[in-house]
Structure 1
């Protein structure tokens, strides 16, 4: 199955360069349909460039805090000199939605 998702430019570039290997999302109705070996077509919301990625593995957590504790900061999109803070995800998702759906780490490989 092919899933379509939008990405901010910095995340798009980090995945495309190969150092961000895990995309973080709510495990809502749309994302709960993703399975290993599906393809995600990401669209860069700044440039409209697209990139296809193969889903290698799925990680299910109750909170982004759990996800951050179980993966390196590089793999989830932070640079070495940056502080990985799960509270930053509250800019994208409400605490109510996080508690309702849980979170999903999607391990990817650019095709």
Structure 2
């Protein structure tokens, strides 16, 4: 599966700092399972990294999800508040999308 990532999140994942990717539980992601391979493409540079899915967690809301992981695991700054993380996510996904699909936390491991 191929997924795009903004540049800063791509770099965090590439460095091994980000270990959990956040996505909607939409049709495309419904095919993911433990052991699936994902190729992430940096939307700025077109560079690619490949990861393996270690575990998938399902949540109803981004708020529930972010309460279950550290901010650095999901690619946020150490001092980011829960409110900031949720509001930043709403710049990418709408509350309506969150309600319609639910959300996923995808624990990944880089393949070197």
Distance 2:78 2:95 in 1: 27
SS at match of 2:4: strand
Structure 1: runs of 5 or more not aligned: none
Structure 2: runs of 5 or more not aligned: none
Counterparts in 2 of 1:1-111, with a 5 A limit?
A: 3-84=1-82, 85-111=85-111
Alpha-carbon offset, residue 8 of structure 1: 0.3
Q: Calculate the TM-score normalised by the size of structure 1.
A: 0.94
Q: CA RMSD in A?
A: 1.0
Aligned structure 1 segments of 4 or more residues deviating by more than 3 angstroms: 81-84
